[in-house]
Amino acid sequence: MIDTASVMGRHVLITGAASGIGKATAFELSRRGARLSLADIDKGGVESTAGQVRAGGGYARAYDVDMGRADQVESLATRVVSDAGPVDVLVNNAGVAVVAPFLRTSAAEWEWVEAVNVHGPIRLTRALLPSMLERRSGHIVMVASLAGLVGAPGMVAYTTTKFALVGFAEALRLEVASAGVAVTLVCPGFVRTNFAKASRYHNGEFRRFLDDPPRWYGLSQERVAARLADALTSRDALVVLGPEKLGWWLKRVAPEAAFAVTRWAAARAGIAADHGALKTDAGPEHAPASPQTHS
């Protein structure tokens, strides 16, 4: 049985909480007694999540924020603390993706995915960490991806940001370990969420694969959320989930074999079908607005 005392009554801030892993984590931590502050760029979605938590007897406040905007991230940190007190647990979950080979990813798209996936979590952590250090208590969770442990062809921008988040989490954990603050890195493989809605595509074949994956493939949001919640009790440094972790293990013992397997899997999924460069440096304004909900 899991000890719920680790989150009972504690103030938890979750980004990307309108749907997917963030929403499932909100429900799981509320069930374990946490007080929640929930943030997402999707105002209606995050308010719905908070409303469902409250309907179940929990405490939740909703905040709409673009994690790619420095001013909004800093404002979020200030408002959350003002409304509900110091944050005990920060779950950096919000994320977006560009699904395209390297040459078909525009400079503006690189800036967008880096701003949300890397700079957003760093800014929010920077804003909230001093209070944790002062109290010598706190827990920071980074929801990255197995694409941050094993390179994903056809998603070069996304995997680059996830590798950055992995490095940030590892270095930060070493830096604050003696100060009473824990850092947990969560790296799931493919999760059945609305990943497509938080992505921009230049690869129709891979999008079709993600929209309709094989029935046996993919983790449930609830499983990832439960394991994340457990990690708050066990203070795990790294949580790796999904059958794709076999590729990570193989990479550590036989890198060339892992490279061959990854290329084969990418070809089967149609990930890197088009290597042609973009004719124009089309930016985010040329693509539909996307939520910041992690895969």
Q: According to the model, what pLDDT value does residue 104 have? A: 87
Q: Is 158 a catalytic residue?
A: yes
Q: Kindly report the number of other CB atoms within 10 A of residue 235's CB atom.
A: 11
The answer to whether 219 touches 240, Cβ cutoff 8 Å, is no
- Phi first, then psi, for residue 240 (nearest 5°) are -115, 125
Q: According to the model, what pLDDT value does residue 290 have? A: 47
Handedness of CA 260, 266, 269, 270 (dihedral sign): negative
Name the pLDDT band for 266 (thresholds 50, 70, 90).
Answer: low
The more confidently predicted of residues 69 and 189 is: 69
Both tokens of 160, joined, read: 């680059």
User: In this prediction, what percent of the chain has a pLDDT beyond 70?
Assistant: 76
Name the pLDDT band for 288 (thresholds 50, 70, 90).
Answer: very low
The more confidently predicted of residues 271 and 121 is: 121
Hunting for tokens 């609830």 — which residue is that? 222
Name the pLDDT band for 289 (thresholds 50, 70, 90).
Answer: very low
CATH of 4-286, one of 3.30.70.920, 3.30.70.20, 3.30.413.10, 3.40.50.720: 3.40.50.720
Predicted structure pTM score: 0.85
Show me where the domains of the chain are located: 4-286
Point out the catalytic residue in the list 59, 63, 158, 217.
Answer: 158
Q: Please state the rounded mean pLDDT for residues 194-219.
A: 59
Q: Is 273 a residue whose pLDDT tops 70?
A: no
Both tokens of 223, joined, read: 């499983």
- Phi first, then psi, for residue 185 (nearest 5°) are -110, 125
Both tokens of 183, joined, read: 């850092």
Q: Is 206 a residue whose pLDDT tops 80?
A: no
| pLDDT tens per residue across span 184-201 | 999 998 776 665 555 555
Q: Is 76 a residue whose pLDDT tops 90?
A: yes
The more confidently predicted of residues 93 and 212 is: 93
